[in-house]
Homo-oligomer: A and B are copies of this chain.
Amino acid sequence: MYCYDVENMSTDEKYVIIGGDAAGMSAASKIRRERPDCEIVVFEKGEYTSYSACGMPYYVSGVVSGFEKLIARSPDVFREKMGIDVRALQEVVAVDPQTQTVRARPAGSGAASEYKQSYGKLLIATGASPVRPPIEGIDAPGIMGLSSLQSGIDMRTAVEQTKPKRAVVVGGGYIGLEMVEALLKIDCDVTLIDQASQVMATLDEDLAALIQEYLETSGARVLLNEPLREFALRSDGHVEAVVTDSHTLPADLVVMGLGVRPNSELARSAGIALGARDAIRVNRRMETSVPGIWSAGDCAESFHRVLGKPVHIALGTVANKHGIVAGTNMSGGDLEFPGVLGTAIMKVGDLEVARTGVSEREATEAGLRCRTATIKSRTRAGYYPGSERMHVKLVVSEQEGTILGGQIVGGHGAGKRIDTVAASITGNLSARDLVNMDLSYAPPFSPVWDPVQTAARTLV
A interface residue numbers (CB < 8 A to B): 22, 52, 54-55, 58, 63-64, 69-70, 305, 315-318, 320-321, 337-347, 352, 354, 356, 381-385, 413, 415-420, 422-424, 426-429, 433, 435-446, 448-450
Contact = CB atoms under 8 A, between A and B. Distances in A.
Quickly give the copy total for this chain: 2
A321 B448 CA distance: 10
Contacts of A340: 438
Contact of A321 (B381, B385, B436): B436
B426 A426 contact: no
Nearest to A440: B345
Given A58-B443, A419-B419, A426-B427, 7 more contacts: A54-B381, A55-B381, A58-B384, A345-B445, A354-B440, A416-B416, A419-B440
A328 B444 CA distance: 30
A162 to B, nearest CB: 25
Given A63-B384, A416-B445, A419-B450, A440 B54 contact: no
A422 B439 CA distance: 7
A310 to B, nearest CB: 15
Contacts of A55: 381, 383-384, 443
A449 B72 CA distance: 13
A416 B440 contact: yes
Contacts of A315: 441
Contact of A429 (B321, B427, B443): B427
Nearest to A354: B440
A440 B427 contact: no
A443 B321 contact: no
A356 B438 contact: yes
A146 to B, nearest CB: 13
B438 A341 contact: yes
Contacts of A433: 338, 426-427
A65 B400 CA distance: 44
A326 to B, nearest CB: 14
Contacts of A320: 448-449
A448 B317 contact: yes
Q: Which of A22, A69, A344, A436 is the most central at the interface, judged by chain B CB atoms within 10 Å of its CB?
A: A436
A343 B428 CA distance: 21
A1 to B, nearest CB: 16
A26 to B, nearest CB: 10
B416 A344 contact: no
B427 A347 contact: no
